[in-house]
Structure 1
Amino acid sequence: MKYVIGVDLGTSAVKLLLVNQKGEVAHEVSKSYPLIQEKTGYSEQDPEQWVTQTTAGIKELIDTFDGDANDIEGMSFSGQMHGLVLLDGQNQVLRNAILWNDTRTTKQCEEIYEKVGKDRFISITKNMALEGFTLPKILWVKENEPELFEKAATFVLPKDYLRYRITDQLQMEYSDAAGTSLLDISAREWSKEICDSLDLDPSICPPLVNSHDNVGTITSDFADQTGLSEATNVFAGGADNACGAIGSGILSEGKTFCSIGTSGVVLSYEPTGDKDFEGKVHYFNHSAPGAYYTMGVTLSAGHSLNWFKDTFAADEDFDSLLKEVDTVPVGSNGLLFTPYLVGERTPHADATIRASFIGMDSSHRRKDFARAVLEGITFSLNESIDLFRKSGKTIDTIYSIGGGAKNKEWLQMQADIFNANIVKLTSEQGPGMGAAMLAAFGSGWFETLEACADAFLSEAEMYQPIQENVERYEKLFTTYKKVYEQTTEINQDLMEFRN
């Protein structure tokens, strides 16, 4: 039996999957590492931690593997998007990586629009200039750490740096490059126009490769440290959401997934890069060859439910917290929740908006609040689906992954609010499986990624929309959308009172 390794470099941990030719996970290992948050809005990591923990994790994987390491033919990567790793001329790290959830760069986003022009910028990158993306971080370092920036020769994203340390080859692949705000999405090349407008040397941008490209083999040093064979092929990999799409089979037009983790994502396959969503949703290069995807993001999806549990049911598990939501009718007895705990991304790129419970009275009990939280998260995700449909997309089947796929009531709620069939996969490994599938495809196990998905993935359950619930939720969704508009100014006024 042959094997591949999928490496998922997340924000809090690296997850490693050893996958065989049947798509079965033979073994998995997870190794955590810390965030560095020195100031409000700052979020950084030491790139050396990624290397150390990945090396230790793969060594553990090999040490517990009862097969032959020579049967592990390849490895590939999924990684947290947008993080800035600055390197000098010898490819040495110049500072801690600035991560996707760092929000210090509002001023630099404004500068991008001033110098490039907002409409022109969106036409090139297909996305708005957002604090989380990479380009504003580069500009922040240039402005605030000029002596350090003078030493910068290139930049990469987190998983690209990890791959460099494993192969001694430095590149960036398209699905992650799409999230830097420096890639011409349609042309699939770095934008000289954006670099020139912002006085950046285009040479700072690394060489581009495809996600399934073979970028070399592991170094002898990495082989010695882990027990892997030096002949192990390495494939470029993809952004976490692109790999999550592959790991969910989102590989043809009309296919969509909803992923509910800390944040929430609705992602839909696009065969071309020439549509115009005016920056209202993310529009990125897919890790599937020649493809693209559109994506809407709810910043506080699972985070809203975690907050609710930690605040009102700290000593209970989620099953206990949610066990009575099926006894609460659609609409939570007139209670509405908006999940804007840390601002919002889609369709409102707003860092100051905050969450609300609307319609509370003394008849409401905890179970009403719990259902309202689930409904509010799902309404927020439905705003992205609504945008997709208004653009002409047909969305009738959605694959649900993450925390939202673990509760049957929530799955039915998604079917009713999205007005679509909701499919739960038999085995859900998300981005790590997508990375393993890129390695399997790159290793020649399958002629296409679609064939790999057919072999590796299977459906477990389907939830169909209940028409009566659909109609009630459509009415309530109209009310939900009013809350943002009517609380924006209030939340701006409250900002001065927040710690």
Structure 2
Amino acid sequence: MKYVIGVDLGTSAVKVLLVNQHGEVANEVSKEYPLIQEKSGYSEQDPDDWVDQTIAGLSDLVQSFEGDTAEIEGISFSGQMHGLVLLDENHEVLRNAILWNDTRTTKECEEIYERVGKERLLEITKNTALQGLTLPKILWVKNHEPEIFEKARAFVLPKDYVRYQLTKKLHMEYSDAAGTLLLDVNEKKWSSEICRILDIDPQICPQLVGSHDKVGTITSEISKVTGLSSATCVFAGGADNACGAIGSGILKDGKTLISTGTSGVVLSYEANGNKDFGGKVHYFNHAVPDVYYTMGVTLAAGYSLSWFKDTFAKDRDFNELLADVDSVSAGSNGLIFTPYIVGERTPHVDSTIRGSFIGMDASHEVKHFARAVLEGITFSLNDSVEIFRKNGKKIDEVISIGGGAKNESWLQMQADIVNAKVIKLKSEQGPGMGAAMLAAYGNGWFSSLQDCADEFLKVDQIYEPIPSNVKTYQKLYKIYQMVYPSTKELSMKLMEFRD
């Protein structure tokens, strides 16, 4: 039997999957690492924590593997997007990584618009300047930590740094590069124009490769530490959302994905880079060769649920917390939650908006609040679905992955709110499976990623919209949409009282 490893470098943990040539998960290991939040809006991590925990996960995986390690033929990666890792001339880390959910860069986004121009930025990168993307973070370091920026000789994204430490080869692939705001998305090359305008040395941009490209083998040192064969091939991998799309079979037109991790994503396949969404959603290179995907983002999807549990139901696990939500009717007895607890991205690019419960009264119990949180997250995801529909995309079927695919009540709720069939896969591993599929394809096991998906991915269950719930949610969604404009000014005024 042949195997590959998919490494999924998330925000809170790294998950390492061992997958055989039939797509069966033979083993998986998860290792956590801390988040560093020194101030409101700041979010950082120590890149060496990623490396240490990835190596520990690989070591545990190999230790429990009963076959010949030579049968493990390849490793590939999925990684949290947009995070900035600055390296010096020796490829040593200069500071903590600034993560995708860090919102300190509002002024840097304004600087990009002032100097590059919003329309020109959209023409080149197909995306708008958002606090979470990489370029504003580079400018923030340039503006606030010039002594560190002067030492920078390269920047990479989180998974690229881990891959470098396993191979000592430095690269970035297109699906992650597209989220930096420095890539000419259609031309698939770094934008010398943007670098010139913003006084950034283009030499700090690493060599670009394809997601299934072999970039090396693991070093002898890593081989000794983990027990893997030194002949194990390493493939570039992809951005977490691109890998999540591959691992869910989003490989041709008409395919749409809803992913609920820490953040939430609605992602749709695009055969070319010619559509114009006016910057309302992200437009990135796919990890599939020469195609694209569009994506809307809810910044705090699963994070809203974990925040609610940790704050108001710390003694309950998630299964217990959600056990009674089906006893509450659609609409949570007149209670609406907006998941803006760390700001929002789609459709409201707003780092100052904050979440709210609207309609609380003395009759509401924890089960009502829990259902309202699930509904609010799903309403936010539906904002992205509606943008796609208004731009001509037909969405009558979606694949659901992540935390939202682990609860039947939530899956049905997604079908009712989005008003589409929701499909749950038998082996839902999301980005980790996508990374493993890139390694399988890169190793030549299949002639295409679609052939790989046909072998690896199977449908478990389909949730059909319930007409009465659809009707109720369509009314509630209109009310939900009124909350943002009604609370925007209030949230702004409250910012001066935050630590």
The Cα of 1:430 is off from its aligned counterpart by: 1.1
Structure 2 counterpart SS, 1:65: coil
**In the TM superposition, what whole-angstrom CA distance separates every residue of 1:160-218 from its partner, at most 9, and x where no partner exists?**
11111212211100000011010111111111111111011212211110000111212
For 1:114, the equivalent position in structure 2 comes to 114
CA distance in 1 between partners of 2:333 and 2:31 (Å): 43
1:70-469 maps to which residues of 2 (within 5 A)?
Answer: 70-469=70-469
CA distance in 2 between partners of 1:134 and 1:27 (Å): 33
CA distance in 2 between partners of 1:64 and 1:366 (Å): 42
Q: 1:13 to 1:407 in 2, by over 3 A?
A: closer
CA distance in 2 between partners of 1:386 and 1:255 (Å): 15
Structure 2, gaps ≥5 residues long: none
CA distance in 2 between partners of 1:330 and 1:225 (Å): 53
The Cα of 1:239 is off from its aligned counterpart by: 0.6
Q: 1:23 to 1:128 in 2, by over 3 A?
A: same
Q: 1:483 to 1:69 in 2, by over 3 A?
A: same
Structure 2 counterpart SS, 1:75: strand
Q: 1:146 to 1:31 in 2, by over 3 A?
A: same
Structure 1 counterpart SS, 2:333: helix
The Cα of 1:253 is off from its aligned counterpart by: 0.9
Single out whichever of 32-41 and 125-134 deviates more from structure 2.
Answer: 32-41
The Cα of 1:19 is off from its aligned counterpart by: 0.8
Q: 1:265 to 1:231 in 2, by over 3 A?
A: same
The Cα of 1:328 is off from its aligned counterpart by: 2.2
CA distance in 1 between partners of 2:168 and 2:312 (Å): 49
CA distance in 2 between partners of 1:333 and 1:38 (Å): 38
The Cα of 1:392 is off from its aligned counterpart by: 0.7
The residue type paired with residue 163 of structure 2 is: R
CA distance in 2 between partners of 1:220 and 1:480 (Å): 56
The Cα of 1:39 is off from its aligned counterpart by: 3.0
Q: 1:203 to 1:347 in 2, by over 3 A?
A: same
The Cα of 1:317 is off from its aligned counterpart by: 2.5
Q: 1:58 to 1:486 in 2, by over 3 A?
A: same
Aligned identity (percent) is 71
The residue type paired with residue 320 of structure 1 is: E
For 2:5, the equivalent position in structure 1 comes to 5
Single out whichever of 37-46 and 263-272 deviates more from structure 2.
Answer: 37-46
The two structures have a TM-score, normalised by structure 1, of 0.97
CA distance in 1 between partners of 2:363 and 2:59 (Å): 56
CA distance in 1 between partners of 2:168 and 2:380 (Å): 42
For 1:476, the equivalent position in structure 2 comes to 476
Q: 1:166 to 1:307 in 2, by over 3 A?
A: closer
The Cα of 1:359 is off from its aligned counterpart by: 2.3
The Cα of 1:485 is off from its aligned counterpart by: 1.0
Structure 1, gaps ≥5 residues long: none
The residue type paired with residue 168 of structure 1 is: K
Structure 2 counterpart SS, 1:333: coil
CA distance in 2 between partners of 1:165 and 1:430 (Å): 24
The residue type paired with residue 196 of structure 1 is: R
The Cα of 1:395 is off from its aligned counterpart by: 0.8
The Cα of 1:475 is off from its aligned counterpart by: 1.9
CA distance in 1 between partners of 2:228 and 2:121 (Å): 44
**In the TM superposition, what whole-angstrom CA distance separates every residue of 1:342-369 from its partner, at most 9, and x where no partner exists?**
1111000111111122223333333322
The Cα of 1:307 is off from its aligned counterpart by: 2.5
Q: Is the 8 A contact 2:101 2:299 kept in 1?
A: no
The two structures have a TM-score, normalised by structure 2, of 0.97
For 1:24, the equivalent position in structure 2 comes to 24
Q: 1:368 to 1:94 in 2, by over 3 A?
A: closer
CA distance in 2 between partners of 1:310 and 1:90 (Å): 41
The Cα of 1:468 is off from its aligned counterpart by: 2.2
1:29-68 maps to which residues of 2 (within 5 A)?
Answer: 29-68=29-68
The Cα of 1:37 is off from its aligned counterpart by: 2.7
CA distance in 2 between partners of 1:371 and 1:87 (Å): 45
CA distance in 1 between partners of 2:313 and 2:72 (Å): 45
Single out whichever of 469-478 and 227-236 deviates more from structure 2.
Answer: 469-478
